[in-house]
Copies of this chain bind each other. A is one copy, B any other.
């Protein structure tokens, strides 16, 4: 197998055995086992060499289900997300039904010296991993694959790749529905506060917004499109910019609920009433959307159900019950109409223009 060491290409037709990996790495089989089990007592250089060989050979551990811990890992990029709790609940629901417990980690932030979250996951041998991440690196993916630990990416904000099992929402459809609703109410100047452009979900929502305007024969005015980062402060800042325009929008699709609340604050500061002077639509339908004043009309993304779907999918994959062709799931979004939007006609605008 030494020959493989000289070939940098990842494709090797025949999966290698553990003994072959050990030989190629010039180490003993127990050392390869230690690496697979995430043990700390392996020299870093050895670990790197073994991991690289596992990856190149597409090694997959053959492990009986019984040797797995009764755990399911849930990995967030960071726990700051306002909707983390909805996701945790969903995974917890499925885990409890299956007699499993949920282990929570963050992939960002201070890592434990010398060990990544992926090493820790590998050492725990969970039934599966649900990743709430903007992207899954090639090395982490290889690490989980070599341990035969199934994984599913939830709400792929990045672009997980066609071959990564994932659960997302119909973001484009949601952006379309939000904007069409505002068009239906008579709005013609409709602003948008988008999320970060590197996140596929915010691109999709923005494209849905554009599609709604274009199919209604309305112009897409670049001055009404602002970029945010899905946080409250961005909604406030971009909201002030939009509402101070000489020809300000009468309605704004806020990209998500937190940005909508930031926009609420901007409107309050400028003495604009919601919905009389400004209609607002959010995205997510976090609990806080119901509690806003006035209650926020928003596109519901069923986060708990999506997390449940991701957890069920990863357990199915672990049992080999799901053919790989149906591992990309998109859960439907729906518009929840509350009190933050109203009809708009020329008179409104003249009246409100004087504020």
| Chain A residues engaging chain B, CB cutoff 8 angstroms | 70-71, 79, 82, 84-85, 88-89, 92, 96-97, 99, 101-106, 109-112, 115, 120, 123-124, 232, 258, 261-262, 264-265, 268, 287-288, 290-295
| Alpha-carbon distance A120/B92, docked complex (angstroms) | 14
| Alpha-carbon distance A104/B94, docked complex (angstroms) | 13
Q: Are the C-beta atoms of B104 and A291 separated by less than 8 Å?
A: no
Q: Are the C-beta atoms of A92 and B71 separated by less than 8 Å?
A: no
Contact with A110, one of B97, B232, B295 (Cβ below 8 angstroms): B97
Contact with A109, one of B96, B102, B291 (Cβ below 8 angstroms): B96
Cβ-closest chain B residue relative to A106:
B92
The distance from the CB of A267 to the nearest CB of chain B, in whole angstroms, is 9
The distance from the CB of A274 to the nearest CB of chain B, in whole angstroms, is 9
Q: Are the C-beta atoms of A291 and B103 separated by less than 8 Å?
A: no
Q: Are the C-beta atoms of B104 and A88 separated by less than 8 Å?
A: yes
| Alpha-carbon distance A120/B96, docked complex (angstroms) | 11
A70: chain B residues within 8 A (beta carbon): 120, 123
CB-CB under 8 A for A103 and B102, given A293-B265, A293-B292: yes
The 8 A-B pairs with the shortest beta carbon distances in the complex, nearest first, are A99-B112, A261-B291, A85-B85, A102-B104, A293-B293, A101-B103, A103-B103, A288-B288
Q: Are the C-beta atoms of A268 and B287 separated by less than 8 Å?
A: no
Q: Offer 14 A-B interface pairs, CB within 8 angstroms, sorted by A.
A: A71-B103, A79-B92, A88-B104, A92-B106, A96-B109, A96-B111, A99-B112, A101-B103, A232-B290, A261-B291, A264-B291, A268-B293, A288-B291, A292-B293
A85: chain B residues within 8 A (beta carbon): 79, 84-85, 88
Contact with A79, one of B88, B99, B123 (Cβ below 8 angstroms): B88
| Alpha-carbon distance A294/B295, docked complex (angstroms) | 14
CB-CB under 8 A for A104 and B92, given A110-B97, A268-B293, A293-B293: yes
CB-CB under 8 A for A104 and B101, given A85-B84, A96-B112, A293-B293: yes
The distance from the CB of A171 to the nearest CB of chain B, in whole angstroms, is 23
The distance from the CB of A286 to the nearest CB of chain B, in whole angstroms, is 9
A292: chain B residues within 8 A (beta carbon): 291, 293
A232: chain B residues within 8 A (beta carbon): 287, 290-291
Q: Are the C-beta atoms of A101 and B105 separated by less than 8 Å?
A: yes
The distance from the CB of A110 to the nearest CB of chain B, in whole angstroms, is 6
A123: chain B residues within 8 A (beta carbon): 70
| Alpha-carbon distance A262/B103, docked complex (angstroms) | 34
A82: chain B residues within 8 A (beta carbon): 287
